[in-house]
Amino acid sequence: MPNPEADEKKVLGNAAYAFKDYDEAINQYTAAIALDSKNCVYFSNRSAAYAVKGDWNAAANDAQECVNINPSFFKGYYRLARAQLEQKEFEAALATINSGLDVGTNDREQKKLMRKLKAEVKEAKDEEYRKTAAAQMQDLMESLGLLKRKHDPQGERKAIEELFKDDKCCMHGINPMHVLGHPEGRFYEVFKKTFIGGFNNVTYQTMQYRLGEHFLSALEATEAKFPEEWKDESKIGVVVTNFVAEGTMHLLHGKIDEARIYASYAFFIQDFFSVLNKTKAMPSSARAEELYNADEHTLVSFLRKHIPCSCLEEKYKEVKSTAKMSRCYNEQCSHPNAMVERSKVKPCAGCRQAYYCSRECQKADVMA
C-alpha cells in the first residue's frame, strides 16, 4: 500500500531536485526509502540525484535496487545503464540496455532513448579500445627503440620483420611494414578516424533509427577529405584489408560487437567503391546493416572469406551449424531484437533494400 508520509518525502525531494539542491534531494529520497523500501521510484529518483553529482557508483547501486524491486520499470534500466557507461562497464551496460528493451514498453520515445544510449555505449567502448590499442602500440614502439632514435627505415623494417616472423603473430592480411610509420599505415589511420567520426556524426531527427544515415555520413566525410583516394583501388584496398583484419582481431579476442562494426565498415567501403567507379549499379546497404547486427555465423563467414590466413577456421567450425539471422527493419517487430532466421525474411516490395519478417511488419513500418 502507498505510504503517504514516504510520498511526502519524495515530493520534497523532487522539489529540491528541481531547484538543483541535489544533496537535499538525496536526503529526502533517503528518508522516503527509510519509510518504504519497496518503492522502486524512490530508488530511481535518488539514483538520478547521485548521477547529477557524478557519484556513479551510488547511482548504479540505487538503479540496480530499483530494477530488483520492479523488473518492469523502464527508467531503472536506463539509469543503471547510464551509470555503468560512465564507469566504463561497457558489457554490463549493453546487457542492461538489452534487458530494458525486453521489458515490453510500448513507449516509442523511451525505446528511442535506450537505443541512442546503446549507440553511445558502443562508441565509448570502441573509443576506449582504440586508446588501449594506441597505448600498446606506443609501448611496442618504445620497446623497439623506434621513438628513441632518428628515423631509420631499414632498422625499423628489420625490427618489425623480427617481431612478426612468428606465425602466431598473424596480421590477417595487413602488411606488417605498413604498421609503424609507413605512409600507407598513416593514410589508413587518418581515413579510419575520418570515417568513424562521420559515422557517429548523425543527428537523430526522425523517429526511426536507420544505420544507413550513419554510413552515408561516413561516406560524405571521407569523400570530402579523400576525393582522389576514393578513385584509387589500391588505397581503398588498404582500407578494406585493414578493417577486415581489425574485425578479425576483435573477433578472436571475443569482442563481437567491435568485429561486427569493422566487418560492416569493410563491406560498405568496398561496396560503395564499386558503385562510385561504376562497376556496380546500386549499393547493398541492407548487407552493410546486416553485418553491423550480424549473428556469429554470418560474421565469421564474411571475415573468413576476406582474410588470406586460416585463423578463423576453428571458429567457423564452431558456428557453421547455427542458423544465419537477419534483422527485420520494423523497430516494433515482436521477435527478440527484431532478429529473424534469414530464410524467413522478405525484401521490401518497393526498394528491395529493406528486409522484413512479414508483409504485416512492412506495412506497420511504413505506416509508423
Distance in angstroms (rounded) separating the CA atoms of residues 286 and 264: 10
Asked whether the predicted pLDDT for residue 270 surpasses 70, the reply is yes
Mean pLDDT of the chain: 81
Q: What is the arithmetic mean of pLDDT over 106-123?
A: 77
| pLDDT band for position 113 (cuts 50, 70, 90) | confident
Which one is predicted more confidently, 104 or 16?
16
Please report the pLDDT score of residue 134 as a whole number: 58
3-state secondary structure labels for all residues of 281-347:
CCCCHHHHHHHHCCCHHHHHHHHHHHCCCCCCHHHHHHHCCCCCEEECCCCCCCCHHHEEEHHHCEE
C-alpha grid cell, residue 177: 611494414
Closest CA to 10 of 52, 70, 25: 25
Q: Which residue type occupies 209?
A: Y
Nearest-10 Cα torsion for 131, 141, 255, 289: 70
pLDDT for 139 equals 59
CA–CA distance, 313 with 5 (Å, rounded to integer):
64
Per the CB < 8 A criterion, the answer to whether 195 and 270 are in contact is no
Domains detected in the chain: 4-109 (1.25.40.10), 167-322 (no CATH), 326-368 (no CATH)
Query: Is residue 337 within 8 Å of residue 99, measured between CB atoms?
Result: no
pLDDT tens digits along 94-103 = 888 888 888 7
**Which parts of 201-277 fold into alpha helices (H)?**
211-225, 233-252, 256-276
Taking the C-alpha atoms of residue 185 and residue 200, their distance in angstroms, rounded to an integer, is: 23
Nearest CA to 332 out of 70, 115, 72, 78 is that of 115
Query: Whole-angstrom Cα distance, residue 33 to residue 26?
Result: 10
Give percent helix, percent strand, percent coil of the chain, each to the nearest 5: 70, 5, 30
CB atoms within 10 A of CB 150: 5
pLDDT value of position 5 = 94
Q: Cell 582481431 belongs to which residue? A: 249
Q: Could you report how far apart the first and last alpha carbons of the chain are, in Å?
A: 39
Q: What per-residue confidence (pLDDT) applies to 100?
A: 85
What band does 167 get if pLDDT is binned at 50, 70 and 90?
very low
For residues 52 and 20, what is the distance between their CA atoms, to the nearest angstrom? 9
pLDDT(124) > 50: yes
Query: In this predicted model, what pLDDT tens digit does every residue of 325-342 receive, in sequence order?
Result: 777 767 677 777 777 777
Question: Is a pLDDT exceeding 60 seen at residue 181?
Answer: no
Determine what percent of the chain is predicted with pLDDT higher than 70.
Answer: 79
pLDDT band at 344, cuts 50/70/90?
confident
Helix (H) or strand (E) holding 142: helix 108-143
Q: Which amino acid is at 258?
A: E
C-alpha to C-alpha distance for 364 and 220, rounded to whole angstroms = 31
pLDDT at 51: 94
Q: Which three cell numbers stand for residue 247?
A: 574485425
* AA identity, residue 76: G
Q: pLDDT tens digits for 30-88?
A: 999 999 999 999 999 999 999 999 999 999 999 999 999 999 998 999 999 999 989 98
Q: How many helices (H) and strands (E) does the chain have?
A: 16, 4
- Out of 61-65, 107-111, 301-305, least confident range: 107-111
